């Protein structure tokens, strides 16, 4: 049987109820897993090892931080519980999105972090698509990367003001984003359902597992020691050192960065408890007639709309469409989950034939109360960063680089985030249920928006 979740990680009853990863929807069952080149060879930590900086978690965040630290000349060791990309980084839709979630506007960032940090964060985010594609070019990563643009079409005319404001605000920051008219949005997406769109030409899409494995290979080449199958189970301070214990060894470090995306399995429970875990469902269709590419996303952009329960879709190089979202059924019926997302896409794009899920898998995201990235202090020289919030490829890769510059001796002023203490949600054990409860309300809001069209 394929692995269900992260090794050594047991979903709680609440996560089960909220649709914890199902055995048949594993890392190995993903489409990306079937086509991504292998990651770099690595071993498990055994005995005691010493390093200057320990990074825990081999997703985009941990690997980007480790790579940039090694490039700055630091001695870095990365502990990964399974293999690089085993978490959300290897299982996502592959959209490179240099933007915030729909429900977060630029003023929210200023309200949360203050004007100076917000400006740094927004600048970092705006440039994050360019960073991702530059890294891919610089390290020669073979990951089907297409910098063809990320689109966010509006599903109802009631979002028109929001769209105009969003475009204007990013343009004011100097970003080359565009507003697409209804006609342009219909032509670009292939769907008559849309009324306009946000376009960021610096975004795009890629094979996420191939990208994260490529980052791992680049990190190893730059000098990072990568240990896989090495879940950190305890972290403790002993004199001036930090000690991270796995089942088979101990890593001793001067500084530690946890990048476990809230799936640390209790390694830093207060930091993990600041996040709401959400399980997302992904499907890749059968291979479709390449002629359909002339009417569906003809410029090979990717599209994720403004519904609260958004519809996102993109092509793969071998003419499949990848889509997905929240579980159709919180109790985890895999068949319903599969067909739910395909039927939504067929309704949006009637030119498509009946779709079949040749591949189906699940992944876990972590979302903060305010949908903002977090950098939390665990002790002197130890930090936990979580920046997923469902739009993480560009954000986490860019933040990993910023954290590397900071851990390399950069100043707090240059950090795009404040360093805070972990403040877990009130009942962290119930957090996995939050989004299942939220889903019916979101669907009602989406339906209201559509009725007012």
Retrieve residue 79's tokens.
């502990």
36 vs 79, which CB is nearer to ligand FAD? Answer: 79
345 SS3 class: helix
Please state, as a whole number, how many other Cβ atoms lie within 10 Å of the Cβ of residue 49.
Answer: 18
Minimum CB separation of residue 110 from ligand FAD in Å reads: 22
Please state, as a whole number, how many other Cβ atoms lie within 10 Å of the Cβ of residue 197.
Answer: 25
CB 155 within 8 A of CB 193: yes
99 vs 191, which CB is nearer to ligand FAD? Answer: 99
Minimum CB separation of residue 266 from ligand FAD in Å reads: 8
Alpha-carbon dihedral sign for residues 260, 396, 84, 434: positive
48 vs 192, which CB is nearer to ligand FAD? Answer: 48
Closest residue by Cα to residue 156 from 330, 305, 335, 315: 305
103 vs 452, which CB is nearer to ligand FAD? Answer: 103
Minimum CB separation of residue 271 from ligand FAD in Å reads: 11
192 vs 358, which CB is nearer to ligand FAD? Answer: 358
59 vs 196, which CB is nearer to ligand FAD? Answer: 59
Minimum CB separation of residue 374 from ligand FAD in Å reads: 11
| CB-based contacts of 377, cutoff 8 Å, min separation 6 | 383, 419, 420, 421
Minimum CB separation of residue 252 from ligand FAD in Å reads: 16
Cα distance between residue 67 and residue 135, in whole Å: 11
Distance of CA 252 to the CA centre of its chain: 29
89 vs 156, which CB is nearer to ligand FAD? Answer: 89
Cα distance between residue 275 and residue 414, in whole Å: 25
| Beta-bridge partners for 255 | 53
Minimum CB separation of residue 366 from ligand FAD in Å reads: 8
324 vs 332, which CB is nearer to ligand FAD? Answer: 324
Minimum CB separation of residue 350 from ligand FAD in Å reads: 24
Q: Which residue's CB comes closest to ligand FAD?
A: 392
Torsion of CA 153, 147, 365, 177, to 10 degrees: -40
The footprint of ligand FAD (CB under 6 A) covers 6, 56-62, 79-82, 86-89, 91-95, 97, 231-232, 259-261, 263-265, 267, 280, 282, 324, 363-365, 388, 390-394, 396
Count helices and strands in the chain by DSSP H and E runs: 12, 19
Cα distance between residue 111 and residue 306, in whole Å: 22
Minimum CB separation of residue 244 from ligand FAD in Å reads: 8
Cα distance between residue 5 and residue 23, in whole Å: 8
294 vs 429, which CB is nearer to ligand FAD? Answer: 429
For residue 371, how many C-alpha atoms fall within 13 Å in the half-sphere facing its CB?
13
| Beta-bridge partners for 226 | 78
Minimum CB separation of residue 41 from ligand FAD in Å reads: 17
């Amino acid at each position: 049987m394929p692995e269900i979740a992260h090794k050594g990680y047991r979903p709680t009853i609440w996560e089960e109820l909220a649709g914890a990863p199902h055995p048949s929807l594993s890392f190995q069952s993903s489409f990306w897993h079937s086509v991504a080149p292998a990651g770099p060879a690595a071993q498990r930590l055994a005995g005691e090892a010493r390093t200057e900086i320990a990074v825990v978690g081999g997703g985009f965040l941990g690997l980007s931080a480790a790579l940039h630290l090694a490039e700055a000349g630091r001695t870095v060791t990365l502990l990964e519980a399974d293999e690089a990309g085993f978490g959300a980084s290897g299982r996502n839709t592959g959209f490179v999105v240099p933007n915030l979630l729909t429900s977060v506007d630029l003023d929210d960032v200023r309200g949360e972090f203050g004007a100076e940090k917000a400006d740094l964060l927004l600048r970092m985010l705006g440039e994050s698509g360019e960073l991702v594609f530059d890294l891919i070019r610089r390290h020669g990563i073979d990951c089907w990367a297409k910098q063809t643009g990320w689109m966010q079409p509006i599903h109802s005319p009631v979002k028109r003001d929001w769209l105009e404001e969003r475009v204007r605000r990013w343009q004011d920051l100097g970003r080359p984003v565009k507003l697409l008219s209804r006609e342009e949005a219909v032509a670009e997406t292939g769907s008559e359902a849309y009324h306009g769109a946000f376009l960021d030409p610096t975004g795009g899409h890629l094979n996420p597992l191939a990208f994260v494995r490529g980052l791992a290979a680049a990190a190893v080449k730059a000098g990072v020691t990568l240990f896989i199958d090495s879940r950190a189970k305890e972290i403790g301070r002993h004199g001036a050192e930090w000690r991270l214990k796995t089942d088979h060894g101990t890593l001793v470090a001067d500084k530690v960065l946890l990048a476990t995306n809230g799936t640390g399995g209790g390694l830093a429970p207060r930091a993990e408890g600041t996040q709401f875990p959400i399980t997302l469902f992904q499907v890749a269709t059968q291979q479709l007639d390449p002629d359909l590419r002339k009417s569906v996303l003809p410029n090979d952009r990717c599209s994720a709309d403004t519904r609260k329960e958004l519809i996102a879709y993109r092509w793969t190089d071998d003419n499949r469409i990848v889509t997905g979202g929240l579980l159709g059924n919180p109790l985890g019926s895999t068949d319903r989950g599969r067909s739910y997302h395909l039927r939504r896409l067929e309704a949006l794009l009637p030119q498509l034939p009946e779709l079949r899920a040749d591949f189906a898998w699940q992944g876990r995201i972590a979302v903060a109360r305010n949908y903002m990235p977090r950098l939390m202090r665990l002790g002197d020289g130890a930090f936990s960063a979580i920046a997923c919030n469902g739009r993480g490829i560009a954000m986490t890769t860019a933040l990993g680089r910023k954290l590397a510059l900071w851990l390399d001796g950069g100043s707090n002023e240059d950090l795009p985030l404040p360093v805070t203490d972990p403040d877990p949600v009130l009942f962290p054990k119930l957090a996995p249920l939050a989004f299942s409860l939220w889903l019916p309300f979101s669907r009602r809001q989406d339906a209201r928006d559509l009725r007012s069209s």
